Amino acid sequence: MKKEMQKFWVSQAVTLIRDYKCLLVKSAKSGLYGLPGGRIDLNEDKDIALARELQEELGISEFEKIELVDYLVFYNLPSGIKLDQPVCAIINLISSNQAIINKDEDEHSDMIWVAESEIDNYRYCWYGLDKSIKKAFLIYNQLNK
């Protein structure tokens, strides 16, 4: 018997931490918070996709990938939306000294910088994202001892 394989989207997101604060973006549709990033287009290289998303959303073209933080797999969203296909989200810690601007106000209604102690004060667009952000802070704190 042939087993049917699951099809899914691959998305990338970044934790950008500066001065012990992480950048969060607020969804204009759901009002929930998330990290900058987006899906990898069909046949697109993952690094090119990440650079494209960061340019489209934050206006940055210069960044360094520090470390893979986490990955999440989910089938629906905390907002109650059931997805057509599950998502595998890859989350990287990056650094960049470029100025951050909200280039996509249709997607993100706000951008805020939050301290590690404030992570639990927000509702997130992906289940488990708060834990992933805490992992990113752990890596960041170890690198900045």
Give residue-wise pLDDT tens across range 81-113.
888 888 899 999 999 999 999 998 889 999 999
User: Cα(first)–Cα(last) distance of the chain, in Å?
Assistant: 55
Q: Which two tokens stand for residue 12?
A: 């990338």
- The pLDDT, as a whole number, for residue 86 is 86
What is the H or E stretch that residue 27 is in? strand 21-27
**Rg of the Cα trace of the chain?**
15
Q: How many CB atoms lie within 10 A of CB 42?
A: 5
Delineate the domains of the chain, giving CATH numbers in brackets.
9-143 (3.90.79.10)
- The pLDDT, as a whole number, for residue 89 is 93
φ, ψ dihedrals at 43, nearest 5°: 65, 15
- The pLDDT, as a whole number, for residue 143 is 95
Q: What is the pTM of this model?
A: 0.90
What is the H or E stretch that residue 19 is in? none
Regions in the chain scoring below 50 on pLDDT? none
For the chain, the residue count is: 145
